């Protein structure tokens, strides 16, 4: 039976993900920043909330926990973070949890925040997937609010070590603005031009551009391409000094994007 994953848009540009095993009512929600759209989705699909997964402490990912656990006494899985008192099951690198008949394992991916984790799974007979919150986005990465460029680099390396076919369920629809920046950094990247055209079409039709895949991100995401000469050159030109270390390249590109 396939794992069914519903896309729940919330706020301006958040995606909350709700998953369940086909034919089963027990459903799990990832990063419920808001409770009402989750309750609506459960009702619409006749599902029952069985657990909550949290990637990091920001309110647009945690704001709905309180209301959801008030009406459903369910476990809350998340990082060991003083900022999220509602977590009932604190998770660390390499921990495994079985949800919706699917084995999820935990990656610690600090950078955007220090408490950031991701949940990866390889559902039977399907391509792998990862819920990666605000660390890796389609054509971008999260802002460095708490961690260093080096931590973000190592975290992206960790995600990048997943299989090419991995579906990337990130928590925001930032794709078009990320692509606008990426095409300035890498103007001659053909794959980037193709993705931009395809994703513009999706957004015009009101469709999400997420999930993306790791294979696509390797070709188009500047933050996964910091080891390449083209990126080192762009970062060097922007900072007016010679950068070759991929961590320094990432730091420069992230700073550049912050003010883009």
> Active site includes 134?
yes
Among 8, 14, 16, 58, binds Zn ion (CB under 5 A): 58
**Active site includes 227?**
no
The catalytically annotated residue of 20, 57, 61, 116 is 61
Select from 34, 60, 173, 217 the one that contacts Fe ion (CB under 5 A).
60
In the annotation, is 57 catalytic? Answer: no
Rank residues 63 and 184 by Cβ distance to Fe ion and give the closer one: 63
Contact stretch for Zn ion (CB under 5 A) within 101-109, 133-141, 195-203, 249-257: 133-141
Verify binding: residue 173, Fe ion, rule CB under 5 A. Answer: no
> How far apart are the C-alpha atoms of 102 and 21, rounded to whole Å?
8
Active site residue 115: no
Site of tokens 């980037």: 192
Q: Kindly indicate which of the ranges 1-9, 18-26, 93-101, 131-139 contains the residues binding Zn ion, using the contact rule CB under 5 A.
A: 131-139
61 is known as an active-site residue: yes
Catalytic pick from 20, 56, 57, 116? 56
* 134 forms part of the interface with Zn ion (CB under 5 A): yes
Stretch that binds Fe ion, among 3-11, 64-72, 112-120, 127-135 (CB under 5 A): 127-135
Residues of this chain that bind Fe ion (CB under 5 A): 60, 134
């Amino acid at each position: 039976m396939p794992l069914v994953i519903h896309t729940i848009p919330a706020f301006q540009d958040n995606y909350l993900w709700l998953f369940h095993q086909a034919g089963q009512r027990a459903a799990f929600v990832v990063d419920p920043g808001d409770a009402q759209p989750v309750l609506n989705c459960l009702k619409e699909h006749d599902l029952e909330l069985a657990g909550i997964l949290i990637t990091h402490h920001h309110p647009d990912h945690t704001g709905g926990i309180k209301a959801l656990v008030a009406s459903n006494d369910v476990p809350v899985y998340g990082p060991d973070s003083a900022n999220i008192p509602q977590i009932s099951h604190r998770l660390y690198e390499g921990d495994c949890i079985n949800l919706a008949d699917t084995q999820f394992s935990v990656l610690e991916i600090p950078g955007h925040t220090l408490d950031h984790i991701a949940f990866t799974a390889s559902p039977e007979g399907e391509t792998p997937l990862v819920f990666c919150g605000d660390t890796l986005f389609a054509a971008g990465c999260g802002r460095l609010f708490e961690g260093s460029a080096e931590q973000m680099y190592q975290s992206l390396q960790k995600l990048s070590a997943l299989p090419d076919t991995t579906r990337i369920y990130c928590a925001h629809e930032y794709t078009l603005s990320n692509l606008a920046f990426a095409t300035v950094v890498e103007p001659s990247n053909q794959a980037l031009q193709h993705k931009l055209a395809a994703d513009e079409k999706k957004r015009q039709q009101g469709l999400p551009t997420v999930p993306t895949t790791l294979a696509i991100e390797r070709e188009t995401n500047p933050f996964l391409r910091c080891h390449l000469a083209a990126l080192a050159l762009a970062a060097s030109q922007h900072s007016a000094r010679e950068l070759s270390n991929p961590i320094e390249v990432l730091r420069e590109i992230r700073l550049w994007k912050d003010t883009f």
